[in-house]
Chains A and B, each alone.
Chain A
Amino acid sequence: IAGITQAPTSQILAAGRRMTLRCTQDMRHNAMYWYRQDLGLGLRLIHYSNTAGTTGKGEVPDGYSVSRANTDDFPLTLASAVPSQTSVYFCASSPDAGGNGYTFGSGTRLTVV
């Protein structure tokens, strides 16, 4: 089934540890995104990638990094996790043109203690 796969589905992480959230899509979409979802704040864009080999900063990029070595994968790394990064993280992708919106993964629930 075409779509987006995120891993892990949930994780409890000690503060100060490094963590990579994985995201893979099989739709050959050019663009990919990482959002965090927090109660009352909706979805906030962390980083995005227009196409393989390029990345850009979103609304809340601090403490996060991404890479886009190929079309399918868009991992999100927390270099040194802090409790304020406790959130639900969603990966999404879209084709070049608008109108179809985004396809979302099912999310990763991350708790930093």
Chain B
Amino acid sequence: GEDVEQSLFLSVREGDSSVINCTYTDSSSTYLYWYKQEPGAGLQLLTYIFSNMDMKQDQRLTVLLNKKDKHLSLRIADTQTGDSAIYFCAGGGGYSSASKIIFGSGTRLSIRP
């Protein structure tokens, strides 16, 4: 089955770029996701990338996928205090009913002034 790993903590200065990294084991994952969890809230889908893509950009967010190394990253440009949250990498999905997604343990992003 899928196993997803990511570092637990990241601290960046406000205005800098944040890069959150993730590795996964199941190369058959159709989609790879990034979720954001703010304090006391559930997870919100931030962005996702289809497994046949290398990069996806959405405003301040850039997702890079290296299928050979099974490595996924999320870059947040011009990091703001509102970006403080836990970011979860997840893999799975596909065109079958209930394609279960496996989540990493989450990376807590903190912003320093």
Contact = CB atoms under 8 A, between A and B. Distances in A.
Contacts, number: 74
Chain A interface size band reads 20 to 34
Contacts of B35: 101
Contact of A98 (B43, B95, B104, B106): B95
Interface residues of B, number: 29
Interface string B1-44: 00000001000000000000000000000110101000001111
Contact of B106 (A42, A99, A101): A42
B97 A98 contact: no
Contact of B93 (A30, A43, A99, A106): A99
Interface of B: 8, 30-31, 33, 35, 41-45, 48, 50, 88, 90, 92-106
